[in-house]
């Protein structure tokens, strides 16, 4: 069954798929003689889940649970299943996904294709570390079973492989045990970069989840203030209350997101969380706070947002972070979402996985065109010259040279790309321009 459907790029609403873009549903044959790209819930910020050269395979209809072993905490589901639906099923049995990003509204296939990470990377690594196996389809092939022992090279290439090695149809995931759905959360205000870096590293011994929010508009690069959050799952008999979501019904005017409104918004966040008082929260309020705001990206207006997320090695990390913040402050471009986390030492399974040992910084900027792109390229330059890398799932502006500088395994990965799979992102960062053959 073929459908007509359009998707905006999450970060840039102006980027949409071509009209009448055919999408795959259930068990129809894969499109023949056409360049294609699997897509989940379309939450990547840039163009990694868009394909103007061919067709997009919509996996959100592949959302069935195939098996659930409650005793061992192993779940087998189709690739279009949302993380939200997995958690709704398993949390009541005291199981949880070992790694989740800042939203639970992504699919299992998308989580594998981007090898997503969370606030607990030093403890649990990235999503691919907990994938036991998955099934892959390529044009003209039967289902290919992939694991660390069965087709291991393709297994490694597909984790973090941006959907370019084939269509993941289902996956088997190892869950982790939790005492309850509640989390003990501690918030600690800080007023220097040195303090937050010490908190991020020392808290890994006592807390699984660690993250810092930074207000980079109200001070200099040497006097950064913000709120550090650390948390663990804890036992509680309290029932989780019903969630009440806020809906953003339309795109805000462009002028709403300016340095003055964001500066005041940041001030409110800081003083609201300034008291160092432990509390208990249901998991979704701590791990997925923005999921309570439907279409929150519309706050940025129709030009959308551009995100910088990079990782820099721990060596000389403080100096490099100061330089990044200096450039951001000097640019006078506002960001109310500025998050700093740590990555652990473990090597990811995926050839193109983003995590590496170091500090990872993420900021959302209102899209101001060339001014914002110039800032991003400046931040990219600092990151890459320090042997860091940029997160492909959040990127809109990397050049081919920048991508190749950050990902040394690109040639090895390229040998696993199935010839009929591509994306706007891949064409942009490889410098290739291709045309598609229309499917009948």
DSSP states along 172-210? EEE-EE-S-SEEEEEEEEESSHHHHHHHHHHGGGT-SEE
CB 55 within 8 Å of CB 83: no
Q: What pLDDT, on a 0 to 100 scale, did the predictor assign at position 139?
A: 78
pLDDT digits (tens, 9 = 90+) for 22-70: 444 445 667 667 788 999 999 998 899 899 888 888 899 899 999 999 9
Q: What average pLDDT does range 139-156 have in this prediction? A: 91
Question: What is this structure's pTM?
Answer: 0.91
| Phi-psi domain of 162 (left: phi exceeds 0; alpha: psi -120 through 50; beta: other) | left
Q: Give me 335's structure tokens.
A: 């960001």
Higher pLDDT, 162 or 1: 162
Look at 37-46, 329-338, 386-395, 423-432 and tell me which has the smallest mean pLDDT: 329-338
Residue 180 sits at the vertex; the CA angle it makes with 175 and 181, to the nearest 5 degrees, is 80
Residue 434 reports pLDDT greater than 50: no
Q: What average pLDDT does range 114-118 have in this prediction? A: 97
Rounded Cα distance between 334 and 259, Å, is 5
Residue 186: CB partners within 8 Å, gap ≥ 6?
A: 207, 229, 230, 231, 276, 278
- Whose structure tokens read 């650390």? 230
Percent of the chain past pLDDT 70, that is, above it, reads 89
Coil, helix or strand at residue 378: helix
Rounded Cα distance between 103 and 116, Å, is 11
Q: What pLDDT, on a 0 to 100 scale, did the predictor assign at position 70?
A: 97
- Whose structure tokens read 């039967």? 142
Residue 323 reports pLDDT greater than 50: yes
Instruction: For residue 124, give the nearest of 54, 87, 176, 49 by alpha carbon.
Output: 176
Q: What's the CATH number for 182-398?
A: 3.30.70.2520
Coil, helix or strand at residue 169: strand
- The helix (run of H) or strand (run of E) holding residue 409 is none
Rounded Cα distance between 359 and 381, Å, is 16
Arithmetic mean of pLDDT over the chain = 88
Number of residues that this document lists for the chain: 440
Q: What average pLDDT does range 272-292 have in this prediction? A: 87
Rounded Cα distance between 197 and 321, Å, is 10
List of E strands, 240-344? 246-247, 279-282, 293-294, 305-312, 338-343
Q: Give me 141's structure tokens.
A: 């092939």
Q: Give me 366's structure tokens.
A: 């209102």
Residue 73 binned pLDDT confidence (cut-offs 50, 70, 90): very high
Rounded Cα distance between 40 and 110, Å, is 6
Look at 135-144, 271-280, 390-399 and tell me which has the smallest mean pLDDT: 271-280
Q: What pLDDT, on a 0 to 100 scale, did the predictor assign at position 7?
A: 58
CA distances from 35 to 51, 300, 358 (A): 8, 32, 36
Residue 333 reports pLDDT greater than 90: no
- Residue by residue, DSSP assigns 313-333 as -STTHHHHHHHHHHHHHHHT-
Rounded Cα distance between 4 and 21, Å, is 6
Domain ranges for the chain, please list them. 182-398
CB 46 within 8 Å of CB 297: no
Look at 35-44, 237-246, 266-275, 421-430 and tell me which has the smallest mean pLDDT: 266-275
Residue 295 binned pLDDT confidence (cut-offs 50, 70, 90): confident
């Amino acid at each position: 069954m073929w459908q007509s459907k359009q998707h905006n790029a999450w970060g840039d609403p102006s980027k949409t798929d071509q009209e009448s873009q055919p999408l795959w549903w259930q068990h129809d044959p894969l499109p023949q003689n056409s360049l294609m790209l699997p897509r989940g819930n379309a939450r990547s910020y840039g163009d990694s889940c868009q394909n103007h050269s061919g067709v997009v395979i919509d996996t959100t209809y592949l959302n069935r649970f195939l098996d659930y072993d409650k005793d061992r905490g192993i779940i087998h589901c189709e690739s279009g299943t949302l993380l939200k639906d997995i958690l709704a099923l398993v949390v009541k049995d005291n199981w949880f996904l070992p790694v989740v990003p800042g939203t639970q509204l992504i699919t299992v296939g998308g989580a594998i294709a981007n090898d997503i990470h969370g606030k607990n990377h030093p403890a649990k690594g990235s999503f691919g570390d907990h994938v036991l196996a998955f099934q892959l389809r390529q044009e003209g092939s039967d289902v290919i079973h992939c694991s660390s022992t069965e087709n291991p090279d393709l297994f490694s290439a597909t984790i973090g492989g941006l959907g370019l090695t084939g269509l993941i149809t289902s996956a088997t995931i190892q869950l982790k045990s939790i005492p309850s759905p509640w989390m003990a959360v501690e918030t600690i205000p800080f007023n220097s970069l040195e303090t937050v870096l010490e908190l991020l590293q020392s808290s890994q011994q006592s807390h699984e989840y660690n993250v810092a929010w930074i207000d980079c508009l109200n001070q200099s690069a040497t006097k950064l203030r913000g709120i550090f959050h650390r948390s663990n799952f804890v036992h509680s008999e309290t029932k989780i209350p019903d969630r009440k979501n806020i809906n953003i019904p339309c795109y805000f005017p462009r002028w709403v997101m300016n340095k003055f409104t964001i500066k005041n918004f940041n001030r409110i966040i800081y003083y609201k969380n300034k008291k160092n008082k432990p509390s208990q929260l249901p998991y979704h309020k701590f791990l997925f706070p923005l999921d309570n705001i439907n279409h929150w990206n519309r706050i940025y207006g129709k030009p959308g947002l551009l995100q910088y997320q990079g990782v820099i090695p721990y060596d000389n990390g403080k100096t490099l972070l100061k330089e990044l913040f200096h450039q951001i402050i000097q640019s006078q471009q506002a960001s109310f979402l500025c998050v700093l986390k740590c990555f652990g030492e473990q090597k990811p399974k995926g050839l193109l996985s983003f995590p590496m040992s170091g500090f990872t910084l993420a900021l959302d900027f209102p899209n101001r065109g060339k001014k914002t792109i110039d800032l991003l390229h400046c931040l990219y330059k600092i990151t890459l010259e320090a042997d860091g890398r940029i997160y492909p799932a959040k990127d809109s502006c990397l050049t081919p040279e920048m991508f190749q500088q950050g990902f040394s395994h690109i040639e090895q990965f390229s040998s696993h790309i199935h010839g009929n799979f591509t994306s706007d992102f891949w064409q942009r960062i490889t410098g290739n321009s291709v045309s598609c053959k229309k499917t009948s």
